[in-house]
Amino acid sequence: MTENLEKFLNRVSESAAQSTLVKMTLSKPAQKHDELRNIYVKPVLIKEKRLFNFTYHYERRDEVKNYDVEQMLDVLKGMIPDRFLNAVLFTVSDDVTLLISSKGKATIQIKKVQECREQSLEHDKQKVRLINPANPWWCQLGLTTREGKITADMQHKFKQIYKYAEIVESLVKPMKFDGTVHIADMGAGKGYLTFALYELLTQRLHLDVDIKGVEIRPDLVLKINEIIKSSGLKGLEFVKSSIEAFQPEKLDVLIALHACDTATDDAIAKGIRAGAELIVCAPCCHKQIRQEMERSGKVDAITRYGIFMERQAVMITDTIRALMMEYYGYKTQVMEFIEMEHTPKNVLLVGRKTDKTPDRLMISKAIGDLKRQYGIQKHYLETIL
């Protein structure tokens, strides 16, 4: 080992010991055809242990490994000069550059830096999560272990919950609310998405909320309220009621995810009547319109096939729902809730309240044309509104 190479490694060891190592790079492969092009090193803190994260950049892939100080120095000794001819150590006060010529001569350059540098111990893969599985209610709801790890059989469910949180954040973030945000989650079921909504709005968006989870099954209401109480969550409550019977005093946001058949229409009607600023629905089944289509006897090249009849009924049902919301002054959007591989119930229907006067004549005509084409007498949402 040459004197300058030894000096460089000593500087690396000292900066690691003194916690002044900011980053390090190895470049200029000794062999031109080496697939390993360079290495990037940075300190990280993993499970309260200070390690050094090596990112190996190959021609077509990257590999990441973590080492302690001794392992890091051993790796560097194996890489310089056999694999790399240049190495740069960046500390909080200096840039230390090691250059090795083609003849094996090592030179070292040390340059004081003017800017103020700080050492970051954040792992590159660290994410700011919208939903934190370490929160105690997720364990009580059966999604995670006591250590906050998502259980194997709930991975798909957590992905669906997380996707839901991403969408809701994008919808709620631009909105302006005056004081407490009043929210009803219709047909809240086991509460997964209700708790995700609460966590997102209170812990990430820092909103003051009053969330009611509306659920008709008394055993679920009792269980979820016990979890809410034990977790000390303020502004969240489950109430025993059908969607049709629930009467909110005030409503800013209405959520109805997978409310079966016309229960989705009951929820939309509640939101419209209450003047909710935002209505978010993930419709479930669509029996009412399919039965109307079948009774009419009208078929075309698509609906003559049973599976396509079902899909057409779904599209017609949700199209009329979107048009009805537009009729009552909402700007509507239909989007994918989650990938089809996770659930076939993957449509999200969104309505935002606007001040724009709707063209009700045009909307009524569009609804009427659809109904005549498929022999539909009445859409349930029309009836209740």
- Model pLDDT for residues 74-96, shown as the tens digit of each residue: 999 999 999 999 999 999 888 99
Give the pLDDT confidence score for residue 118 in this predicted structure: 61
| Banded model confidence at residue 344, pLDDT cuts 50, 70, 90 | very low
Which has the higher per-residue pLDDT, 305 or 87? 87
Q: What does the angle CA 296 – CA 302 – CA 306 come to, to the nearest 5 degrees?
A: 70
Tokens of 40: 């990037």
Tokens of 226: 């016990």
The H or E element containing residue 257 is strand 253-257
Distance in angstroms (rounded) separating the CA atoms of residues 275 and 295: 35
Distance in angstroms (rounded) separating the CA atoms of residues 374 and 272: 26
Distance in angstroms (rounded) separating the CA atoms of residues 36 and 276: 57
- pLDDT tens-digit map of 225-248: 999 999 999 999 999 999 999 999
| Longest CA–CA separation in the chain, Å | 92
Tell me how long the chain is. 385
Q: Would you list the domain boundaries of the chain?
A: 3-112, 136-384
Contact 88, 111 (CB under 8 A): no
Contact 258, 160 (CB under 8 A): no
Strands 278-282 and 347-353, sheet pairing: antiparallel
Quick one: what percent of the chain has pLDDT higher than 70? 93
82: burial class by Cβ within 10 Å (0-12, 13-18, 19+)? exposed
In the chain, % helix, strand, coil (3-state, to 5) comes to 35, 25, 35
**Is the pLDDT assigned to residue 341 strictly greater than 60?**
no
Give the pLDDT confidence score for residue 122 in this predicted structure: 59
Give the pLDDT confidence score for residue 1 in this predicted structure: 53
Using alpha carbons, select from 222, 224, 287, 278 the residue that is nearest to residue 251: 278
Compute the average pLDDT of residues 188-200: 93
**Among all chains, which residue has been given the structure tokens 């003051």?**
208
C-alpha dihedral over 175, 179, 184, 190, to 10 degrees? Answer: 100
The overall average pLDDT reported for the chain is: 88
Relative orientation angle of helices 192-199 and 155-172, to the nearest 10 degrees: 40
- 175 three-class SS: coil
**Is the pLDDT assigned to residue 340 strictly greater than 70?**
no
**Is the pLDDT assigned to residue 128 strictly greater than 80?**
no
Compute the average pLDDT of residues 13-41: 92
Give the pLDDT confidence score for residue 302 in this predicted structure: 77
CATH number belonging to domain 136-384: 3.40.50.150
Query: Identity (one letter) of the amino acid at 49?
Result: K
Compute the average pLDDT of residues 369-379: 91
Give the pLDDT confidence score for residue 72 in this predicted structure: 95
Using alpha carbons, select from 373, 382, 377 the residue that is nearest to residue 303: 373
| C-beta neighbour count of 246 within 10 angstroms | 20
Distance in angstroms (rounded) separating the CA atoms of residues 84 and 12: 16
Burial track 130-168 (b if 16+ CB lie within 10 A, e otherwise): bbebebebbbbbebbeeeeebeeebeebbebbbbbbebb
CA 116 to chain CA centroid, Å, is 35
Relative orientation angle of helices 360-374 and 306-327, to the nearest 10 degrees: 160
**Among all chains, which residue has been given the structure tokens 């407490």?**
180
Compute the average pLDDT of residues 126-145: 83
Strands 84-91 and 94-100, sheet pairing: antiparallel
| Banded model confidence at residue 9, pLDDT cuts 50, 70, 90 | very high
C-alpha dihedral over 302, 306, 307, 311, to 10 degrees? Answer: 60
